[in-house]
Amino acid sequence: MSKTIKTINPYTNQVIKIYETFSDATLENYLKRGHQQFLKWRHTAIEERTALLERLGKTLAANRQEYAELITKEMGKPISQSLAEIDKCQTLIDFYAVNADQFLADALIETEAHESFISYDPLGCILGIMPWNYPFWQVLRFAIPTITAGNTVFLKHAANVTGCALLIADLFTKSGYPDGCFQTLLVTHEQIENIIADTRIQAVSLTGSEKAGKHIANLAGKHLKKTVLELGGNNACIVLNDANLDKYIKTMVHARMQNTGQSCIAAKRFIVEEGIYDEFMETFKQHIEAIETGDPMQEQTDLSVLAREDLAETLHQQVQNSVDMGATVHLGNSRKKTFYKPTILTHVTPGMPVFDEETFGPVAAVIKVENAQEAYKMAATSNFGLGCMVFTENTEAAKHQISQIPDGAFFINELVKSDARLPFGGTKASGYGRELSKEGIHEFVNIKTVYINL
């Protein structure tokens, strides 16, 4: 007997739609279709694949408003940010449409052989397990390079954005992709293990929590399947004494509050040098208090509800536990169902949940330090390693600290963000492997050595 998936609007608490999960027989039909399509798709010329990418971009643009509105209804993202997410997907499509041919071309290597080169062959059927916080972007940044490399893709999306998952599958269908290139699976957690064990599945990409990453990596490892894991983070935002607050305070606020704070790469720990601390706190608080909150479907709304009530409860508990350990509430710390008021905590120290853990919501933990050396040391004090940002006028000095931060990204005078042109991923508890850029399209190919003598 199949189970059901219920999507709920987190702002209105109204049920959007109820879906039935796949029976094992239906799932088998999908797996079979994806594998059979791979056997043909892998031989499709790269010119044909990139031409389909261009059609995909046109379909995305034509349905921009519909896609954005469903994002907002299903997970509560303010509509202006949902539209921006769709637009960002467009840049991704455009990037691979132009560059995929070059990235996948044979790489000639001079050796003693008459001819030697590296070829990049697709692996097969790849499973993507994706989160709800960027329902289109997270999926497409995995799927587009993977499919363009000649693989076929199965999507297991977060249950609360099931409508988005089906719209993405329809996006590929409307754009003319062959049947089976991209398929959305409405399956239970129990069925996931069988999917990963299936010999037709060659690899798994997961974006999600540290807990989910460990579980999927364990399942995949048992069957010798490659994984790419993009997991959580508690990124540091270092604010040095010479930081230009007039120029960058809005960037710092956005680094924490974008997507209502529900971003793995958000600035979660603000490590502030004592010489600028008071000025920073005053300005930071003023800007956060000025954030427009409310109905996510209204264009003027900058911050709205969290995606589910249990997420708001978890965040509130993390804050309360930190306060019990000595943190001070400087602003906020109240919630009503799925709405969590933007919050600033001070006197935060290592060992507190808001320092050690990923806080998925509009909570900023602030740590005062004596000097830059202590700031960098504090930033590196984390089990996570997704990214770090530094605000300073002395960019040359900051560049000398790059190797001191063992994260996947180091941004100076800018918030950590993903960009199709640059590889994206983390270290330590933030996962491994890379998405985007050339590195991303090479994650799910067989990097094959070819050696020819006459």
Could you tell me the two tokens for 212? 């989910």
Pairing mode, strands 335-336 and 431-432: unpaired
- pLDDT value for 26: 98
- pTM of the entire predicted model: 0.97
Could you tell me the two tokens for 128? 């993507």
- pLDDT value for 342: 98
Q: Is the pLDDT of residue 73 over 70?
A: yes
Looking at the domain assignment, is residue 73 inside a domain? yes
Tell me if 56 sits within 8 A of 93, measured CB to CB: yes
Question: What is the mean predicted confidence (pLDDT) over 293-310?
Answer: 98
Instruction: Kindly state the helix (H) or strand (E) to which residue 362 belongs, with its residue range.
Output: none
**Averaged confidence pLDDT in the chain:** 98
Specify whether 332 is located in the same domain as 308: yes
Specify whether 17 is located in the same domain as 37: yes
Strand partners, 333: none
Q: Is the pLDDT of residue 282 over 60?
A: yes
The beta-strand segments (E) located in 312-420 are 328-331, 335-336, 339-340, 343-346, 363-369, 384-385, 388-391, 410-412
Specify whether 407 is located in the same domain as 448: no
pLDDT tens across 202-216, in order?
999 999 999 999 999
Q: How many domains, the chain?
A: 2
> Can you tell me the distance from the alpha carbon of 238 to that of 91, in angstroms, rounded to the nearest whole number?
29
Looking at the domain assignment, is residue 425 inside a domain? no
CA distances for 130 relative to 153, 291, 363, 414, angstroms? 12, 29, 24, 26
Q: Is the pLDDT of residue 1 over 80?
A: no
Specify whether 206 is located in the same domain as 248: no
The beta-strand segments (E) located in 61-161 are 107-108, 115-122, 125-130, 152-157
Looking at the domain assignment, is residue 161 inside a domain? yes
- pLDDT value for 437: 98
Looking at the domain assignment, is residue 148 inside a domain? yes
% of the chain at pLDDT higher than 90 = 99
Q: Is the pLDDT of residue 54 over 90?
A: yes
Q: What CATH number is given to the structural domain containing 31?
A: 3.40.605.10
> Can you tell me the distance from the alpha carbon of 280 to that of 311, in angstroms, rounded to the nearest whole number?
29
Residue where the block lists tokens 């990596």 = 217
Specify whether 23 is located in the same domain as 144: yes
Question: What is the mean predicted confidence (pLDDT) over 66-78?
Answer: 98
pLDDT tens across 208-265, in order?
999 999 999 999 999 999 999 999 999 999 999 999 999 999 999 999 999 999 999 9
pLDDT tens across 106-161, in order?
999 999 999 999 999 999 999 999 999 999 999 999 999 999 999 999 999 999 99
DSSP string, 19-66: EEPPPHHHHHHHHHHHHHHHHHHTTS-HHHHHHHHHHHHHHHHHTHHH
Looking at the domain assignment, is residue 424 inside a domain? no
Q: Is residue 230 annotated as a catalytic residue, yes or no? A: yes
The DSSP symbol for 383 reads: S
Question: What is the mean predicted confidence (pLDDT) over 330-348?
Answer: 97
Specify whether 21 is located in the same domain as 90: yes
Angle separating helix axes 189-197 and 24-41, nearest 10 degrees: 40
- pLDDT value for 283: 98
Q: For residues 92-120, b (16+ Cβ closer than 10 Å) or e, as one string?
A: bbebbbebbeebbeeeeeeeeeeebbeeb
Looking at the domain assignment, is residue 332 inside a domain? yes
Could you tell me the two tokens for 145? 């390079």
Measured torsion, CA atoms of residues 129, 131, 134, 135, in degrees rounded to the nearest 10: 60
- Least Cα distance to 306 among 35, 30, 13, 90 occurs for 13
- pLDDT value for 167: 98
Q: Which is the catalytic residue, given 85, 230, 435, 443?
A: 230
The amino acid occupying position 131 is P
Neighbours of 292 (CB within 10 A): 12
Q: What CATH number is given to the structural domain containing 338?
A: 3.40.309.10
401, HSE (Cβ side, Cα atoms, 13 Å): 24
Specify whether 339 is located in the same domain as 363: yes
Question: What is the mean predicted confidence (pLDDT) over 33-53?
Answer: 98
Specify whether 290 is located in the same domain as 267: yes
Specify whether 226 is located in the same domain as 242: no
Specify whether 176 is located in the same domain as 257: no
Residue where the block lists tokens 């042109």 = 421
Looking at the domain assignment, is residue 277 inside a domain? yes
Looking at the domain assignment, is residue 334 inside a domain? yes
Specify whether 145 is located in the same domain as 221: yes
- pLDDT value for 415: 98
The domain of 323 spans: 235-419
- pLDDT value for 58: 98
Specify whether 172 is located in the same domain as 270: no
In angstroms and rounded to an integer, the radius of gyration of the C-alpha atoms of the chain is 23
